[in-house]
Chain A
Amino acid sequence: MASVPMEHGLMLAGILFALGLVGVLVRRNVIFVLLAIEIMLNAAGLAFVVAGSRWEQPDGQVMFMFVLTMAAAEVSVGLALVLQLYHHFRTLDVDAASKMRG
């Protein structure tokens, strides 16, 4: 829709991405790190959709669907890794993984 300027949509995507990045950098609980990664992927998809709606082409939405697929695959593998981490170390601290060997 043309009434919302593209800059504002991109600004929203940038703010959401920055919030996700802050979450990754600040939190040490691995669940929160995964949530923040989801926020960042979602913001990237939002940027695609904003650009697609600016030129009224379907390509942006197609790219968002690819981002969605990638996020689903990433989170399933990531959560399996979280379960393994908790199983081995009995903690959700990401720094515990620095003690892994092999």
Chain B
Amino acid sequence: MNVAFYLAAAVAVASTAMVITRLNAVHALLYLIVSLLSVALVFFTLGAPFVAALEVIIYAGAIMVLFVFVMMMLNLGPQTTEQERQWLSPKAWSGPTILVAVLLAELVYVLAQEGGQLTSAGSVSPKEVGIALFGPYLLGVELASMVLLAGLVGAYHLGRRDGPEEQRKGGR
């Protein structure tokens, strides 16, 4: 598992360095997804399988999809198809593909080495996390739900096309 940790860490650092140096936002997003996947593998090798799954599902899934949606909304125009043609070039997807291939090989290696036993000996199981989450941290869970509600209301308020300013001006 030691080799897996260092390989995933190297992939994470490399892809994160690529994120902050890309000129194209979509390329940076691809590299950030690779970075998050490799950090998920780091979590897995550290014995935190539940958080590794959450990292893939919520970070690399939900939050990155939000970014993709916003970039889609910002890129409306006649130049979009030309951009699409540029983005489908091998130069765009070869780098993330190579890094993800490293991660995939590493995942296969870890699974083969463990012989089907997914969690290592010193790991913290999802059951313990759940007991801690809804035991001593119950107040934190409630506060997190408040934060999510505030984020929902704030995003709805800010995301409206007609702000209250324009509504007053337009007399609607």
B170 to chain A, nearest CB (A): 15
Most-contacted residue by chain A among B1, B51, B54, B150 (CB, 10 A): B51
B148 touches A69 (CB 8 A): yes
The chain A residue sitting closest to B122, CB to CB, is: A1
Task: Fill in one digit per residue for A1-43: 1 if any B CB lies within 8 Å of its CB, else 0.
Answer: 1111000110010011001101100110101101110110010
- Interface size on A, as a range, is 35 or more
A50 touches B20 (CB 8 A): no
B16 touches A20 (CB 8 A): yes
A32 touches B51 (CB 8 A): no
Q: What is the size, in residues, of chain B's interface with A at 8 Å between Cβ atoms?
A: 64
The chain A residue sitting closest to B152, CB to CB, is: A76
* Chain B contacts for A27, CB-based, 8 A: 20
B158 touches A22 (CB 8 A): no
B147 touches A73 (CB 8 A): yes
The chain B residue sitting closest to A25, CB to CB, is: B20
Interface residues of A (CB under 8 A from B): 1-4, 8-9, 12, 15-16, 19-20, 22-23, 26-27, 29, 31-32, 34-36, 38-39, 42, 46, 49-50, 52-53, 56-62, 64-66, 68-77, 79-84, 86-87, 92
Q: Which 10 A-B pairs have the closest CB atoms?
A: A73-B151, A23-B20, A80-B158, A58-B132, A80-B159, A76-B155, A69-B144, A53-B46, A80-B155, A58-B128
